Amino acid sequence: MKIIATKEAFLQAIHSIRANTLRSSLAALGVVIGITFVILMGWVLSGLDKAMEDSFKAMGTDVMYVDKFDWAGGKSWKELRNRPNITLDQTEKLISRLTSAELAVPVARTNRGKIVYGNQVYENIAIQGTTSQFSLTPSGTIDSGRFFNDIEDRMASNVVVLGWKVYQTLFPNGNSIGSTIKINNVKYTVIGVATKQGTTFADFMDNIVYIPLKSFLGTFGKYRRNFSICVKAGSTDQLDNVRAEVEGQMRMIRNLKPWEENNFSINETKTFETAVSTIRTIVWVVGIGMTLLSFIVGIIGIVNIMFVSIYERTKEIGIRKALGAKRYDILIQIIFESTTIAIIGAFISFVLTSVVAYITATFLPKLIPQVGFLSPMIPLDLLGIATVISIMVGIIAGLLPAMRAANFEPVVAIRYE
Amino acid sequence: MDESLIIKLDNIIKRYEMGENQVLALDDISLEIKKNEYVAIMGPSGSGKTTLMSIIGCLDTPSSGTYYLDGENVEVMDDNELADVRNRKIGFVFQTFNLLPRENCIKNVELPLIYAGVKADQREELAIQALKNVGLEDRMFHKPPELSGGQRQRVAVARALVNNPSIILADEPTGNLDTKTGDEIMKLFHKLWQSGHTIILVTHEEDIALNAKRIIRLRDGKIIDDYVNTHQILIEDQKNI
């Protein structure tokens, strides 16, 4: 019996909304704005997440960097700066002693590279000196040409592998292999191009060139240089074992006493993720705050319209009650109506945001390459969340007017003109 | 309790608070109405006849006194139970018709069946049958604003009948109609009475009340007269001769 009345209440709600199209669409406007906010925010964040994840994958989820500095932040800059540099000697010791890792490669790096090609000059490029084995890490994957080999390592050959962004900037027409570029006034021959690593969002990862370690030390000097060691565990299951060994060996190499803290950091993509998730949370909290505000406005809008609607239909409600409608029947009819308005609002937002997402993701990256992480499709789970939110908004907005209407005295309401 | 009794009011009192003043709308009303009676409740405005009709129709509850409707004690019921009783036992016909203007005749007549939980196809069947009974089969798909006053009141009568209620409660049913259409509606009520329905008519018009078989007169919330309408019986006797 309840089911029949409920179905009828639903049909009534549709009927009533169609009879007052303009009023209902104005009421839905607040919800449209709110849901649009939620979806667009979620869309941007999910794009960012995807970009981040891709970057982590490119870096390698089973890779850790033993470094003087800590990537995750949270430690005081002063404390980090006062740590001793990781010397070449310590680097070589660690690499030779590690047994559990699949691979351990020394890395030296400067961000003050200056590259000259023809009459083009680029400054502040990351220059990384490493060994041929770096080609076995995800970051060292080659797109075209080849990575430098063991012999070139030992000979300190002046050969260079370009990061994707450097390649694109210097050689927009392609065909870089064999060209000569100058790195801080020393001539290098381009022998390969590394695969694109970061997404456009994290494109600093591609703004780099790789040269043999010995060549690097020749050009940039080895005195007081700080090294880091790229350790590849082999698989993510091995991470804990390898990390434990790396930590133990480093402490031994540095003669740390049991009560002394590590004066080096072991950085993993995971530590990065923690830092990123903090940023995400902040974005969400700010975004949710703004969304909440627009929902409050949306709810007030619907509440208003519903109050107008029930007073306008006082007589109708009186008639229904006189003919046997119970409180529940009236309650459910009004709540259905407000919920339907909210859902219609949500669907308008779906269409709106889908169009915005498609157009933005298709055309905007051509103007601003940094937004290339945006997807042309709104993720489905976001639409699901938005639907649930709109239903909740509808129920909340309908509750007060519905309770008022359900409590109308039939004997008074039926005589209302 | 007497099986043939359909309404039994005992010492019904209804008070309204008007600011600091109390208005006594019904003052100790006791009344019994049997099945298949045709009763007119009469009185000038302010006599309490509308209040009495609201209480008999379970739209309102008395301040004190007991009310049995078809054997059920009404005054102990809550809002939802009253709604249920109205739905099952009472067919309302109002002076202002009280139809839903946006719905067609069938939908209007279906309304009590929706709240009784009758399924859609069965509802439509019953509604069409009720509309045929009041002679509106060719107007079923029209909406109330497209109908004349007499036709609208006949839709209301069909709606009152569709749930097969114990009593039909008519509040000034001809008040908004001209004399000719009013007479047609009264003939309809007569027909319903003949087919076994209990009819309670609230009116202030003497000639309308004369259609009933029993007349109850109210003044200042009290019953001042309750008698068999010999006039109507005389007319019928004449017809029989």
Q: How far does chain B reach from its first CA to its final CA, in angstroms?
A: 38
Contact state of B59 with A411 under an 8 Å Cβ cutoff: yes
**Measured between CB atoms, which of B54, B87, B119 is closest to A323?**
B87
For A376-407, the pLDDT digits (tens) are: 888 888 888 889 989 999 999 999 999 999 99
A-B CB pairs within 8 A amount to 66
**Measured between CB atoms, which of A2, A15, A323 is closest to B111?**
A323
Q: Which two tokens stand for residue A107?
A: 């890395």
Higher pLDDT, A203 or B45: B45
**Measured between CB atoms, which of A324, A328, A414 is closest to B98?**
A414
Average pLDDT over residues A254-278: 82
Q: Extract long-range pairs of B119-124: CB within 8 Å, 24+ residues apart.
A: B119/A4, B120/A4
**Does A315 lie at the interface with B, CB-CB under 8 angstroms?**
yes
Contact state of B83 with A326 under an 8 Å Cβ cutoff: yes
**Does B81 lie at the interface with A, CB-CB under 8 angstroms?**
no
Which candidate, B217, B216, B215, B164, places its Cα nearest to that of B192? B164
CA distance A220 to A201: 29
State the residue for tokens 């102990």: B76
**Does A4 lie at the interface with B, CB-CB under 8 angstroms?**
yes
Angle between helices A239-253 and A88-97 (to 10 degrees): 130
Alpha carbon A250 to chain centroid, angstroms: 33
Q: pLDDT band at residue B236, thresholds of 50, 70 and 90?
A: low
Q: pLDDT band at residue A20, thresholds of 50, 70 and 90?
A: confident
C-alpha distance from B105 to closest chain A C-alpha (Å): 15
State the residue for tokens 């399924």: B119
Contact state of A324 with B57 under an 8 Å Cβ cutoff: no
**Measured between CB atoms, which of A19, A315, A320 is closest to B111?**
A320
Q: Is residue B20 part of a domain?
A: no
Contact state of A326 with B115 under an 8 Å Cβ cutoff: yes
B172 contacts in A (CB within 8 Å)?
Answer: none
CA distance A94 to A97: 5
Structural domain count of chain B: 1
C-alpha distance from B98 to closest chain A C-alpha (Å): 7
Q: Is residue B73 part of a domain?
A: no
Average pLDDT over residues B2-6: 80
Closest residue in chain A to residue B171, using alpha carbons only: A415
As a dihedral over the C-alpha atoms of residue B40, residue B44, residue B47, residue B53, rounded to 10 degrees, the angle is 40
Average pLDDT over residues A244-255: 92
ipTM for this model: 0.91
- Farthest CA pair distance, chain B: 60
Closest residue in chain B to residue A329, using alpha carbons only: B115
Contact state of A326 with B120 under an 8 Å Cβ cutoff: no
Closest residue in chain A to residue B86, using alpha carbons only: A324
Domain residue spans of chain A:
2-56+273-413, 105-233
Average pLDDT over residues A155-165: 90
pLDDT above 80 (res A60): no
**Does B175 lie at the interface with A, CB-CB under 8 angstroms?**
no
**Does B111 lie at the interface with A, CB-CB under 8 angstroms?**
yes
Range of the structural domain that residue B204 is part of: 34-61+79-240
* Enclosing H/E stretch for A112: strand A103-117
Q: Which two tokens stand for residue B101?
A: 């203007």
**Measured between CB atoms, which of B84, B94, B115 is closest to A5?**
B115
**Does B83 lie at the interface with A, CB-CB under 8 angstroms?**
yes
**Measured between CB atoms, which of B60, B99, B102 is closest to A19?**
B102
**Does B76 lie at the interface with A, CB-CB under 8 angstroms?**
no
Q: Is residue B147 part of a domain?
A: yes
Query: C-alpha angle with apex B96: B93 to B101, nearest 5 degrees?
Result: 100
pLDDT above 60 (res B146): yes
Closest residue in chain B to residue A411, using alpha carbons only: B59
pLDDT above 90 (res B229): no
pLDDT above 80 (res B234): no
pLDDT above 70 (res A272): no
Average pLDDT over residues A105-110: 92
Q: Is residue B164 part of a domain?
A: yes
Q: Is residue B6 part of a domain?
A: no
**Does B98 lie at the interface with A, CB-CB under 8 angstroms?**
yes
CA distance A165 to A194: 9
CB < 8 Å from B in window 7-26 of A: 8, 15, 19
Q: What is the CATH number of the domain that holds B92?
A: 3.40.50.300
**Does A411 lie at the interface with B, CB-CB under 8 angstroms?**
yes
The pLDDT of residue B233 is: 65
Average pLDDT over residues B126-147: 92
Q: Which two tokens stand for residue B237?
A: 């006797």
- Percent of the residues in chain A that have a pLDDT greater than 70, as a whole number: 95
Which candidate, B26, B67, B59, B28, places its Cα nearest to that of B43? B26
Neighbours of A201 (CB within 10 A): 20
* Residue type for position A73: G
CA distance A146 to A157: 14
Which candidate, A183, A164, A201, A188, places its Cα nearest to that of A53? A201
Which candidate, A346, A386, A352, places its Cα nearest to that of A28? A346
A315 contacts in B (CB within 8 Å)?
Answer: 98
**Measured between CB atoms, which of A8, A315, A319 is closest to B114?**
A8
